[in-house]
Amino acid sequence: MDYKQSRAYIDEAAKYGAVLGLDNMREMLKRLGNPQDSLSYVHVAGTNGKGSVIAYLYHTLTHAGYRVGRYISPTLYSYRERLEVAGERISHGDFANVITAISEVIHRMTEEGLPHPTPFEIETAAAFLYFKEQNCDLVLLEVGMGGNMDATNIIKNTRLAVLVSVSMDHMSFLGNTLGEIAEKKAGIIKPGCKVVTTKQQKEAEQVILSVCEKQGVPYVISDPSEAEILEESVFGQKFTYEGESYEIPLAGVYQKENAVLALHALELLDEMGWHTTLQQRKEGLAGTCWQGRFTVINKKPLFIVDGAHNPGAADQMAESIRHYFKGKDLIYIMGVFADKDYDAVLQKTAHFAQKIFTIQTPDNPRALPAEELARAARKYNSSAESTESIQEAVNKALTLAKEEDVILAFGSLSFIGELTKAVQDEKNRN
């Protein structure tokens, strides 16, 4: 298979559905020679902040000279961003090669009557194969959903488990209480690993502590209140932590929490032999790029994109709006998946906007129709208007916005890449 055929093969796998549990993943990897067992991992779970924490760790450790693999999802601008080593995306040829090898194994499995792996299981197996081939010193692994039954949790060599903020999300799969969700996410904690978590809500904290006690591992809390903001704007922030000053180019009031958690994780990794100097940590954080998280893509008018798609992220975004944009007129572009708690997101954020344009996220069967989202939004803001496309929403927002206004596009990360291109195209035309 070539790259295009490999992508089509993965997409086609969605039609076979999914089988609960890790048995199918375990069987596929056994036939591939268990490539995951030769690697060491930092496993990251939680609701909001996984990608940001991984971005800080990835840039810092790579900057320090380690050959680090990174597996994340979703991605904004290129599918191949899911699999990176040492700052480079997997090549088209390498991706085609690992998927071809996996497809041959899957063919034999299905001939024997075994279930067909899901797209995410195939992608995860591809990550393990590729990172082994690349002789990675360390792999940063983002949980897809949950933790205990996630395809990534097939690994045995977790050196560090990192838990970002846990909040309500994916309730149909993970549970209806914060405790139930936290228990699923804490499933990445294994005997012998180290654990660091940001400061959690009480219910989540108790569950994570209980899991740590059962697994016999120490419970380390990273407290963002130990850091003090010195300077901040939508273009980045400076803070002090443990007597040292750090700069990060990422905005959003929640990024201090993510950066402090990453620094705490780096301290624990240092104890385990993945050494970084203070200067490398400072330079690593300062050089971190992580698109789609309260990211400025245009200055006049200020145009920001953010992946806020669940109640916890909506709380964070609302706090950032109050913090940065008091007295400003806001225009929203919003698109979500139908299986998200978008009503709660709207309840927390809609009232800040002078105008809301809704879109349907493209090329995804989970997408909520634009008009349905607009109807839901009108319960909290009568200005909500559905649009036919991302391009139409961008055009209408830019036409309406005055130079001093703020346009905020948020919801599913799946449309941020296309929206960013639409904004750039509009700038080029003008």
Domain final residue pick, 286, 320, 338: 286
* Structure-derived torsion over alpha carbons of residues 196, 141, 421, 380, reported in degrees to the nearest 10: -50
Domain final residue pick, 232, 261, 286: 286
Q: Are residues 265 and 388 in the same domain?
A: no
Evaluate the CA torsion angle 152, 154, 157, 161 in order and state its sign.
positive
* Predicted local distance difference test score (pLDDT) of residue 172: 47
CA distances from 215 to 186, 187, 383 (A): 11, 10, 52
Average pLDDT over residues 315-339: 92
305 near 410, Cβ under 8 Å? yes
* Predicted local distance difference test score (pLDDT) of residue 175: 57
CB atoms within 10 A of CB 281: 22
Q: At residue 196, what is the residue type?
A: V
Q: Are residues 330 and 242 in the same domain?
A: no
- The answer to whether residue 173 scores a pLDDT higher than 60 is no
* Predicted local distance difference test score (pLDDT) of residue 307: 80
* Predicted local distance difference test score (pLDDT) of residue 168: 65
Number of H helices, E strands in the chain: 15, 17
- The whole-angstrom separation of Cα 89 and Cα 172 is 33
- Which is it for strands 244-248 and 295-298: parallel, antiparallel or unpaired? unpaired
Q: Are residues 47 and 168 in the same domain?
A: yes
Residue ranges making up the domain that contains 257: 3-286
The DSSP result for 104-153, as a single string, is HHHHHHHHTTPPPPPHHHHHHHHHHHHHHHTT-SEEEEE-SSSSTTSGGG
261 near 45, Cβ under 8 Å? no
Average pLDDT over residues 109-138: 97
Q: Are residues 236 and 328 in the same domain?
A: no
Q: Are residues 84 and 217 in the same domain?
A: yes
358 near 386, Cβ under 8 Å? yes
Query: Residues of the chain with pLDDT > 90: what percent?
Result: 75
Average pLDDT over residues 388-407: 95
Question: Average per-residue pLDDT in the chain?
Answer: 92
Question: For 217-264, what is each residue's pLDDT tens digit?
Answer: 998 999 999 999 999 999 999 999 999 999 999 988 789 999 999 999
Residue 135: band (very low, low, confident or very high) from pLDDT cuts 50, 70, 90 = very high
Q: Are residues 271 and 325 in the same domain?
A: no
Burial category of 327 from C-beta neighbours within 10 Å (exposed 0-12, middle 13-18, buried 19 and up): exposed
Question: For 331-379, what is each residue's pLDDT tens digit?
Answer: 999 999 898 889 999 999 999 999 999 999 887 888 899 999 999 999 9
Q: Which residues of 259-279 are buried (b: 16+ CB within 10 A; e: fewer)?
A: bbbbbbbbebbeeeebebeee
Average pLDDT over residues 3-13: 96
Q: Are residues 225 and 327 in the same domain?
A: no
Structurally, how many domains does the chain consist of? 2
Domain final residue pick, 242, 265, 286: 286
387 near 357, Cβ under 8 Å? yes
- The whole-angstrom separation of Cα 429 and Cα 188 is 48
- The answer to whether residue 174 scores a pLDDT higher than 80 is no
Residue 268 half-sphere exposure, CB side, CA atoms within 13 Å?
23
Nearest Cα residue to 401 out of 307, 317, 299: 299
- The answer to whether residue 380 scores a pLDDT higher than 70 is yes
Task: Let me know the angle formed at the C-alpha of 37 by 35 and 42, rounded to the nearest 5 degrees.
Answer: 110
Write down the residue that tokens 């939004």 correspond to.
Answer: 377
Q: Are residues 260 and 327 in the same domain?
A: no
Q: Are residues 103 and 164 in the same domain?
A: yes
Give start and end residues of each alpha helix (H) in 325-369. 342-349
Tokens of 189: 């904690």
- The answer to whether residue 100 scores a pLDDT higher than 70 is yes
- The whole-angstrom separation of Cα 52 and Cα 250 is 9
- The whole-angstrom separation of Cα 344 and Cα 276 is 41
Tokens of 344: 């709660």
CATH number at residue 29: 3.40.1190.10
Q: Are residues 314 and 205 in the same domain?
A: no
CB atoms within 10 A of CB 295: 22
Residue 417: band (very low, low, confident or very high) from pLDDT cuts 50, 70, 90 = confident
Q: Are residues 232 and 317 in the same domain?
A: no
36 near 29, Cβ under 8 Å? yes
- The whole-angstrom separation of Cα 365 and Cα 367 is 6
Average pLDDT over residues 321-326: 91
Nearest Cα residue to 55 out of 272, 259, 319: 259
Q: Are residues 70 and 46 in the same domain?
A: yes
